[in-house]
Amino acid sequence: MSATPSVSSPEAALAASGPWPVRLDDVSVRYPDGTVALRNVTLAVEPGEMVAVVGLSGSGKSTLVRTVNGLVPATSGRVQVGPHDVGALRGRRLRELRGGVGMIFQAFNLADRASVYQNVLVGRFAHTPTWRTLLGLAGHDDREIVLAALDSVGMLEKVWGRAGALSGGQKQRVAIARALSQRPRVMLADEPVASLDPPTAHSVMADLARINAEQGLTVLVNLHLMDLARQYTTRMIGLRAGELVYDGPAASADDAVFEEIYGRPLQVRDRLGSAG
């Protein structure tokens, strides 16, 4: 990584250098216990696209997004993220790729007993030598980036509070700030609103859509609710039992498409409902 330029404004602190495309070429994932989570998935996401990955639980959505940052290695096939061939990366180069790919999780994955500040500073790991982290030394630029990231999700005043003391929606915002402080080129979201109540879910989805629009980030978001996919994303990938069964515009995906993806008739719980 080149030297971090000095930071003059909050917007500049978070400016990414340009989104990355994501390409999966005939990717399969078989877990050590024999479960096949992905079967020959081929997929190309253009830089700056916001894509929903839709499917029931167990359909392979989580596995799909985790192949993008190498948390789950592809058993066969090729994953290309920006300039990186994910399967070939180890150690430092793998961490460099991950530094360019932000991720948020269904369970937020915050260290509850650490402060909000410390949790967001995690986003600077890939740009910080290990010895500096071990000694608890954060650079001035890192601090500015963390504060700007918290400000951009409206959580700046909680910066010194404990992460565990926040509500679910606030936790997910802190997790988004953590991902933003990486200054990522790609944002992955694994069921980001499944643990939230409907109004909070809508506001977190709106945050993601805003990040996609303002910063031009490539966004892959896993969802199991059809209305959220239609409302917030432009393109939709459907997964069923590890196979890609739909790839097309989200807006024009009708109920028949969702029944095909789910492999069963639609039910009430497939929709979140509107805010409020």
Residues for the chain: how many in total? 276
Task: Name the residue nearer to another protein (CB basis): 113 or 269.
Answer: 113
What does the alpha-carbon distance between residue 218 and residue 249 come to, in Å, rounded to a whole number?
Answer: 16
Question: Rounded to 10 degrees, what is the CA torsion of 97, 98, 101, 107?
Answer: 160
User: In the complex, what is the shortest distance from the CB of residue 73 to another protein, in angstroms, rounded to a whole number?
Assistant: 13
Which residues contact another protein by CB under 8 A?
Answer: 69, 71, 95-103, 105, 107, 109-114, 118-119, 121-123, 125-126, 128, 130, 133-134, 136, 175, 178-179, 182
Helix (H) or strand (E) holding 64: helix 61-68
Q: At which residue do the structure tokens 């909070």 appear?
A: 200
Task: Name the residue nearer to another protein (CB basis): 130 or 252.
Answer: 130
199 token code pair: 């109004």
User: In the complex, what is the shortest distance from the CB of residue 46 to another protein, in angstroms, rounded to a whole number?
Assistant: 23
User: In the complex, what is the shortest distance from the CB of residue 149 to another protein, in angstroms, rounded to a whole number?
Assistant: 12
Task: Name the residue nearer to another protein (CB basis): 84 or 202.
Answer: 84
User: In the complex, what is the shortest distance from the CB of residue 20 to another protein, in angstroms, rounded to a whole number?
Assistant: 14
Q: At which residue do the structure tokens 């196979």 appear?
A: 243
Task: Name the residue nearer to another protein (CB basis): 69 or 212.
Answer: 69
Residue 59 vs residues 30, 37, 63, 69, 259: alpha-carbon distances, Å: 13, 7, 9, 19, 14
